Structure 1
Amino acid sequence: MTLGELRDLAQSIRGEVGKAIVGQDGMIDLLLVAMVSEGHVLLEGPPGTAKTFLAQSFATALGLDFGRIQFTPDLLPGDILGSNLFNFQTSQFTLTHGPIFCELLLADEINRTPPKTQAALLEAMQERRVTLDGESHPLPDRFMVVATQNPIENQGVYPLPEAQLDRFLFKLLVPYPEESEEAAIVTRYGSRSGPPRPADLGVTKVADPAQLANASRVLDQVTLADDIVHYVVRLVRATRDHAELSVGASPRAAVMLANAAQARAALDGRNYVIPDDVKALAIPVLRHRLTLSPAAEIEGRDIEALVSELVESTEAPR
């Protein structure tokens, strides 16, 4: 696949998802970046802002095997991963796959289940495999988690452990739509009975497995110059030395930021990364990996504002 073919494929996917989703063009673009760079995405926003519908439409357009888990306080790890059940007819244990065995997993309202159950995703998100009773079971090569969560201010939610947050490439904040967009949503869906489905709105599959497999290989054609690498490293290391941050970003964050910048460049049809690619992705890559110091919290400081300040103060290559 060439850079031009990847750009055309991305445009087709945008068009299909746009049949179901009004607005949220930036969200769709970042989902495409995550798809190409093989990352996972965390969507945070109030109920009713089409987080789940966005994930369903994206999976439909890509033709991915879609799985959904509704995270609840009583959910157990086995409900996600599956288990070995004894078959009395054969006198043998038989593996029953859980819903995690799919290509795109929607972890719906992930922060409504306790950390013990949330941790069931750690190995799957990092290594794309699941271990049950000491035996490893591979997940599909295209395995991707799109998780949704309600803001922490909502009742009945648990904060995600830092180790799990660090496995998400992006944390995207889903806002309420603009007035014109909301009017278009009401016009499109107000006369429908029951919840909409992507297929009912004309969303069709526009990618095949071979195209998706080749999409990530296109990144080999994108040059990541040494000065861009050092720029990413300086930016990430600056989060660890900032007085208003008690926890900075990890080396994994630097790797993911560089990889996502390559994906953004490729989707834009370029075979080289520019500093603007890094700057555009810094906030969604870093916002969930940083923790404010107690003094900064008291002062009401904002993570996004701090990241923006670090981007401005970190010298970028010319």
Structure 2
Amino acid sequence: MSESKPPSEQWESIQNSVAEIRTQTAKVIVGQEKVVEEMLVSLLCKGHCLLTGVPGLAKTLLVSTLGTILGLKFQRIQFTPDLMPTDIVGSEILQTGDGAGRGFEFVPGPIFANLILADEVNRTPPKTQAALLEAMQEKQVTVAGQTRNLDEPFIVFATQNPIEHEGTYPLPEAQLDRFFFNVMIDYPTIEEEEEVIRRTTGRSTDSADPILDAAGVIALQDATLDVPLPDNVVKYILQTVHKSRPNTAAASDFVNNYVDYGAGPRASQCLARAARALALLRGRSTASVEEVRDVALPILRHRVIPNYNATGEGVSVENVISELLKD
């Protein structure tokens, strides 16, 4: 892997693309700059993203707009209690056309796209969740004994509703770990909500224009790997992750009291990749500790598991991560 910054011409082109992505996104999405930035980081790192927020916060619009801007094939899958694995990956259908004789033909499911919106992923049973998660992990599906690869880039943005629990099947921690980011989407400010009203309740609404294609997205993903990661940043990542593990030499009394399970090695890898991507998005030639701190929350939120003491005393996982980031 290269540890040198891309050539100046390529670097300028990358920064122009990033600026145009932000401009096009702002034409449709009001506010949510932090969420958009985190989604772009996830995309550049080839990582899947879990979006958590109450209904009406434009989660679906965010993902579909990003797909349009990046020129990617977009598919939305609405997860329901009766959704079957074959509804996601596809199935073989018996064809009985004249002349050709009978035979099975594979009909691909909606998973065969570049950008997938898995809407309300916690509403479907574990068997169907597993079909999606296998595709996320392996970037391939197996139907009737035949393995079929998914096209690159392949990114899943899954949403879940935090306020409804009846009839849902929460993702276990081991499955949550397959998501690169766990992004929380909050309510807009009153000024942002006023702008939403003005933009969306008239006769016309703005739309985003495509500025890239699949090859362009892959080029950005490759460029992310070339952003240098200094030794001091690697050490900071390792220290932060190791401090999250209770009953170890690096753990503080706070962690020992309130954490059940700390983050594993995958968290260290994700922090390194995300720091590179965020530095690229910000036009910085080298990743720094600042980028690590800025991506720590969505990476560690679903990988650090508070214990019963934390629940009883109102200590949230966000409180724990803030403690980990203290110097």
TM over 0.5: yes
- Alignment correspondent of 1:176: 187
**Does the C-alpha gap of structure 1 residues 272 and 63 become closer, same or farther in structure 2, counting only changes over 3 Å?**
same
Q: Distance in 1 between matches of 2:161 and 2:309?
A: 26
Report deviation, 1:221: 2.3
2:286 is aligned with 1:272: yes
Q: Distance in 1 between matches of 2:163 and 2:146?
A: 36
2:265 is aligned with 1:251: yes
RMSD: 1.6
Q: How does 1:23-172 map to 2 (within 5 A)?
A: 23-89=31-97, 90-151=101-162, 153-172=164-183
Q: Distance in 2 between matches of 1:9 and 1:182?
A: 28
Q: Distance in 2 between matches of 1:21 and 1:59?
A: 13
Moved over 6 A (4+): none
- Alignment correspondent of 2:251: none
Report deviation, 1:288: 1.4
In structure 1, what residue type is equivalent to 2:221? S
- Alignment correspondent of 2:242: 237
Q: Decide whether the 8 Å contact of 1:34 with 1:169 is kept in 2.
A: yes
Q: How many residues align?
A: 307
Report deviation, 1:187: 1.2
Unaligned runs of 5+ in 2: 1-5, 247-254
Unaligned runs of 5+ in 1: 314-318
- Alignment correspondent of 2:313: 299
In structure 2, what residue type is equivalent to 1:262? R
2:300 is aligned with 1:286: yes
Report deviation, 1:154: 4.4
Q: Decide whether the 8 Å contact of 2:54 with 2:163 is kept in 1.
A: no
- Alignment correspondent of 2:11: 3
Report deviation, 1:292: 1.1
Aligned match for 1:228, one of 219, 225, 233: 233
SS of equivalent to 1:201: coil
Q: Distance in 2 between matches of 1:121 and 1:43?
A: 16
Alignment deviations for residues 122-163 of structure 1 (CA, whole Å, 9 cap, x no partner): 221122111222321111110100111100554432211223
Q: Distance in 2 between matches of 1:239 and 1:20?
A: 38
2:234 is aligned with 1:201: no
SS of equivalent to 1:221: coil
TM-score, normalised via structure 2 length: 0.89
Report deviation, 1:41: 1.1
Alignment deviations for residues 215-270 of structure 1 (CA, whole Å, 9 cap, x no partner): 01112321112332222122112222232111221211211111011111112222
SS of equivalent to 2:169: coil
Q: Decide whether the 8 Å contact of 1:44 with 1:171 is kept in 2.
A: yes
In structure 2, what residue type is equivalent to 1:276? E
SS of equivalent to 2:326: helix
Q: Decide whether the 8 Å contact of 2:96 with 2:102 is kept in 1.
A: yes
SS of equivalent to 1:19: helix
Q: Distance in 2 between matches of 1:208 and 1:99?
A: 19
Q: Distance in 2 between matches of 1:3 and 1:270?
A: 10
**Does the C-alpha gap of structure 1 residues 87 and 13 become closer, same or farther in structure 2, counting only changes over 3 Å?**
same
**Does the C-alpha gap of structure 1 residues 173 and 220 become closer, same or farther in structure 2, counting only changes over 3 Å?**
closer
Q: Distance in 2 between matches of 1:116 and 1:213?
A: 31
Q: Decide whether the 8 Å contact of 2:27 with 2:208 is kept in 1.
A: yes
Q: Distance in 2 between matches of 1:143 and 1:202?
A: 24
Alignment deviations for residues 40-67 of structure 1 (CA, whole Å, 9 cap, x no partner): 1111111011111111111111111000
